Chains A and B, each alone.
Chain A
Amino acid sequence: MHPVVKLVSQRLALGLILLIAASVLIFMGTLILPGDVAQSILGQSATPEALANLREELGLNEPAILRYFDWLFGALQGDLGTALTNGQDIATSIGRRLGNTLFLAFWAAVISVPLAIFLGLLAVRYRDRWPDKLISAVTLASISIPEFLIGYLLIYFVAVQLGWFSSVAMINDSMSLLEKLNAIALPVAVLTLVVLAHMMRMTRAAILNVMQSAYIETAELKGLSTFKVIARHAFPNAIAPIVNVVMLNLAYLVVGVVVIEVVFVYPGMGQYLVDHVSKRDVPVVQACGLIFAAVYIVLNMIADIVAILSNPRLRHPK
């Protein structure tokens, strides 16, 4: 078998095993949490009878292992079931939420990834001179401030004082694309600031690393311009680590933005998951957990495949 195909299929198998393991862990995690979904729904107004009746209705009296396999086989057939708390169809709710999350992540990525790579290249080009230092200082400052604080600062100055954008980034189907983009402007700005530094620094470090190589010296001795050396000779060889960090940040944009969703009241997956965890709504937590795990696994897989493809020794085995 071609080593590339072999590696990819190994990755896929590993991914599936990881997914199943994640679902078991998530399920066990929700069992350890104090209280159950019935208790959480009724809260302080729970009488023992109402609790018993609700537990019966939700099937919580069945053994945990049975509930887990029920859910797993449903999920394998594409049926995620209904939320225990409000009876809404999980697939429909997640579909809408996931769409929103991907929408936000997409625009944050479209802005931050090219910007980060461009700034990284720029930093290498003007290494140790003021543009390099300025870029590093600004991006490091933005990654060091907690994201909620950046969010609140933007809300206060840009939304409340200047009134340019709305502080509530709530989008719905009846809005046009332009209205939606206007609504998500502030969270996209925060996310861009948060992920920029990591990708920029990695790009800079990876290219600088390659720049130490002998063939770069050759290229320089050939008399190529600094920019050409970086763009044509150094960058292609630094792709693997850059793609890795880009994928890691893309994964963060999808699964790690709960704080931003809360601050900007954005209807994405993070808030949806948190709501259901606090209500112990296991089927929904499972479904969200699996989707999040899948996002990580798939993006990491892509990073690996790109690394494999950009490696001539694997592409052309002896």
Chain B
Amino acid sequence: MKDQLDFMTQSVTSGKMTRREFMGKTAALGISAAVAGSMFARAAEAAGPVKGGTLKLGSIGGGSTDSLDPAVAASQVPYHNLYQFGENLVNVTPEGGIENRVAESVEASADAKTWTFKIRKGVEFHNGKPVTAEDVMRTMERHSNEDSKSGALGIMRGIESMKADGDNFIVELTTPNADLPYLMADYHLMIQPDGGFDNPAAGIGSGAYMLEANEPGVRHMWKKNPNYWDDTRGHVDEVEIVVINDATARMAALQSGQVHIVNRVEPKVAGLLDRAPNLTVRNAAGPGHYVFIMHCDTAPFDNNELRLALKYAINREEMVDKVLRGYGSVGNDMPVNAAYPLFDDSIPQRPFDPAKAAEHYKKSGHDGSPITLRVSDVAFPGALDAAQLFQQSANAAGIPLELKREPGDGYWSEVWNAQPFCASYWGGRPVQDQMYSTAYLSTADWNDTRFKREDFDKLLFAARGELDEAKRKALYSQMGMMVRDEGGLICPMFNDFIEATSSKVQGWVVDSTGDTMAGKWSHKCWLA
């Protein structure tokens, strides 16, 4: 078998075998997909990146209203643009670790309250100025000061003070946080000259690509930054991000060779696309989840028996099959899964159990009036279908569920976080602490389930300051159980990120931390 493997890896190295052929053949030898995937990546890597060319992404989520200001980036195209010109202090690696970028080293004090980021020497902004600790501090200031409109404002709250000391950027926290570097990897926090105070939307950063053309809602062109400090990243001469919001048009653009990569492949076409020659579907199990949220403080959802009844009345397997077409995994009514470091996979999976659902429903003493679930397809793709499946399985358990279709326009302001029971979506966060602090801490801005529990908050703060991993894991496990059994979240499924590439794209890495290799496709891929 070793000979065969050697031969196959050689074929990959010399570009004679595609990833799919390789995966198929290794599967025949009884090698698991995960192992084969990393073998392929190593073999392709061994051939070495090819420099040059224009790498094109056809992306959903762009509009003529888009800006390059990192503070207001909320959809996919602005997100990808940020990764072209900008760079964080640190990145989260595909394995969930921390990798230093603008920071050369990261050190925490013993109590995890003081963090020192040493700024890398020789990193330059596109305008020729060197990146200093001062710029880093100004950037963090812009995202955390009182007039900030930044999407990162929520995660910047635990900071007591910041200072630039020579080459060091030093952060003092109000309470200990062992995960601070993960927060610094947030995509809003791209380091900008003087923090971007004067012209935040100029597209100037220290990243691998420099702005060439900026036509919001149409396309964004980036060219290689000749002074980029890291030779192992950024192989192509030019990167083009083409805005293609229409799913059919996006797939057609990939098939006709006008773009090399498309994101947000719909599960229902992924299988068909994968069969096409010269195309590869790339999916990665991620932390994103499709959910139904109940307000724990609003009748009738203030009754835990009713919440449990609804949780048992949902058929998770069926949803993964029919809504995600298998491109995903079942959820367990908590917002975290195996994509997170320190996840406890011994927590039992909640099954679909109509009998148990009926029992809890009876215990809840609900008067039998219909329970209204508000839904729109902007909540997540296939939300209407999922809600209908939910309605059927709940009715089978004797729970009268009524669907109310809401307009997609204004859904996030009028329905989500406003109505007591609706469909929603969470993209996930790099670490459990951030996920829980964003949406489950009593004081969280986006506590969309109105889950307010002092004992939960205490556990969260304890875990945040805990540097012993085993102890942290136990604390997170306890918190997960609390949300699962008493929270307002019904989480039937975690969706995969599904992208598709032409076979010219090499160097693809399965990265479960975000959409399209967590934004690093242009840094790590090259054109064969």
- Give residues in A with beta carbon < 8 Å to B: 33-35, 38-51, 53-54, 56-57, 83, 85-88, 93, 96-97, 152, 155-156, 159-160, 163, 166-168, 170, 172, 262-265, 267, 271-272, 275-276, 278-279, 281
Chain B binding surface, main DSSP class: loop
- Are A43 and B74 closer than 8 Å at their CB atoms? yes
Q: Write out the residue numbers on chain A whose beta carbons fall within 8 Å of the beta carbon of B253.
A: 167-168, 265
How distant is the Cα of A53 from the Cα of B151 in the complex, in angstroms?
Answer: 12
Q: Are A42 and B218 in contact (CB under 8 A)?
A: no
Of all A-B residue pairs in the complex, the 4 with the closest CB atoms, nearest first, are: A34-B410, A86-B67, A85-B65, A275-B63
CA distance A97 to B257 in the complex (A): 25
**B64 touches A (CB below 8 Å):** yes
- Contact assessment for B217 and A42 in the assembled complex, using a CB-CB cutoff below 8 Å: no
Closest residue of chain B to A83, judged by CB? B65
Q: Is there contact, CB below 8 Å, between B413 and A272?
A: no
Our pick among B246, B256, B425 for the contact of A159 (Cβ within 8 Å) is B256
Kindly provide the distance from the CB of B417 to the nearest chain A CB, expressed in whole angstroms. 8
Contacts of B244 in A (CB 8 A): 168, 265
User: Is A45 a contact partner of B151 (Cβ separation < 8 A)?
Assistant: yes
- How many pairs of A and B residues are in contact by the CB < 8 Å rule? 145
Judged by DSSP, the binding face of A is: helix
Asked if B256 contacts A170 (CB within 8 A), the reply is: no
B: residues with CB less than 8 A from A are 58, 63-67, 69, 72, 74-75, 146-151, 153-154, 201, 213, 215-219, 242-246, 248-249, 252-253, 255-259, 409-410, 412-414, 416, 425, 445-446
Query: A44 contacts B416, CB within 8 Å?
Result: yes
The reply to whether B215 and A267 form a contact with Cβ atoms under 8 Å apart is: yes
- Of the residues A39, A50, A271, contact of B148 by C-beta under 8 Å: A50
Whether B67 lies near A172 (C-beta < 8 A) is: no
Contact A265 B255 (CB under 8 A): no
Chain B proximity of A167: nearest CB distance (Å): 4
A279 with B150: CB separation less than 8 A: no
CB-based contact B412/A44 at 8 Å: yes
A314 to B421, CA, bound (A): 67
Q: A33 and B242: CB pair below 8 A?
A: no
Cα-based distance from A40 to B66 in the complex (angstroms) = 11
Question: Are B217 and A275 neighbours in the complex by a CB distance under 8 Å?
Answer: yes
Query: Which residues of chain B are within 8 angstroms of A166 by Cβ–Cβ distance?
Result: 256, 258
A39 proximity list for chain B (CB < 8 A): 412-413
In the bound complex, residues from chain A placing their C-beta under 8 Å from that of B248 are: 152, 155, 263
A53 and B65 contact, CB distance less than 8 A: no
Q: Which residues of B contact A264 (CB under 8 A)?
A: 249
Closest Cβ neighbor of A37 among chain B residues: B65
Q: How far is the CA of A167 from the CA of B63 in the complex (A)?
A: 19
With both beta carbons as reference points, the residue of chain A lying nearest to B444 in the complex is identified as A47
Specify which chain B residues have a CB less than 8 angstroms from the CB of A53 in the assembled complex.
146-149
Q: Are A49 and B65 in touch, CB under 8 angstroms? A: no
| Residue of B whose beta carbon sits closest to that of A54 | B149
Alpha-carbon distance A94/B150, docked complex (angstroms): 28
Q: How far is the CA of A97 from the CA of B252 in the complex (A)?
A: 24
Q: Which of B148, B218, B245 makes the CB contact (< 8 A) with A267? A: B218
Query: How many Å lie between the Cα of A87 and that of B154 in the bound state?
Result: 24
Determine how close the nearest CB of chain B comes to the CB of A207; give it in whole angstroms.
Answer: 40
Could you tell me the distance in whole angstroms from the C-beta of A58 to the nearest C-beta in chain B?
Answer: 9
Residue from A50, A83, A265, A278 in contact with B243 in the complex, judged by beta carbons closer than 8 Å: A265
CB within 8 Å for A86 and B65 given contacts A168-B242, A267-B215: yes
Q: How far is the CB of A85 from chain B (nearest CB, A)?
A: 4
Q: Which residues of A contact B245 (CB under 8 A)?
A: 262
Candidates A46, A51, A54, A262; contact of B246 at CB < 8 Å = A262
Cα–Cα, bound, A101→B253 (Å): 21
Give complex CA distance A49, B248 in Å.
38
Assembled-state Cα–Cα distance A46/B446 (Å): 8
Q: Please report the C-alpha to C-alpha distance between residue A35 and residue B415 in the assembled complex, in whole angstroms.
A: 11
Which one, A49, A83, A263, contacts B249 given CB within 8 A?
A263
Q: How far is the CB of B511 from chain A (nearest CB, A)?
A: 21
Question: B65 near A281 (CB under 8 angstroms)?
Answer: yes
Q: Are A85 and B67 in contact (CB under 8 A)?
A: yes
A86 to B218, CA, bound (A): 14
Given contacts A42-B151, A48-B445, A86-B201, contact A167 B252 (CB under 8 A): yes
B38 to chain A, nearest CB (A): 33
- Let me know if B252 and A47 touch, CB within 8 A: no
Least CB separation from B67: chain A residue:
A86
Indicate if the CB atoms of A172 and B219 lie closer than 8 Å: yes
Cα–Cα, bound, A223→B463 (Å): 101
* Complex: A271 Cα to B66 Cα, angstroms: 13
Query: Which of B149, B414, B416 is in CB contact (< 8 Å) with A50?
Result: B149
- The answer to whether B149 touches A275, judged by C-beta atoms less than 8 angstroms apart, is no
Q: Complex: how many Å from CA A33 to CA B409?
A: 9
Q: Report if A50-B258 is in contact (Cβ < 8 Å); known contacts: A44-B416, A45-B74, A262-B246.
A: no
Question: Which B residue sits closest to A156, measured CB to CB?
Answer: B252
Are A43 and B410 closer than 8 Å at their CB atoms? Answer: no
| Cβ-defined contact, B153 with A41, below 8 A | no
B153 partner residues in chain A, CB cutoff 8 A: 47, 49-50
Instruction: Give complex CA distance A83, B409 in Å.
Output: 20
Contact flag A170-B219 (CB < 8 Å), given A34-B414, A41-B74, A160-B255: yes
Asked if B67 and A87 sit within 8 Å, CB to CB, the answer is yes
How far does the Cβ of A269 sit from chain B's closest Cβ, in whole Å? Answer: 10
Contact B216–A88 (Cβ < 8 Å)? yes
Asked if B246 and A263 sit within 8 Å, CB to CB, the answer is: yes
Instruction: Note all chain B residues with C-beta closer than 8 A to A279.
Output: 63, 65
Closest to A259 in B: B246
List of A residues within 8 angstroms of B255 by Cβ = 160, 167
Which B residues are in CB contact (< 8 Å) with A44?
Answer: 74, 412, 416, 425, 446
Question: Which chain A residues border B150 with CB–CB below 8 Å?
Answer: 50
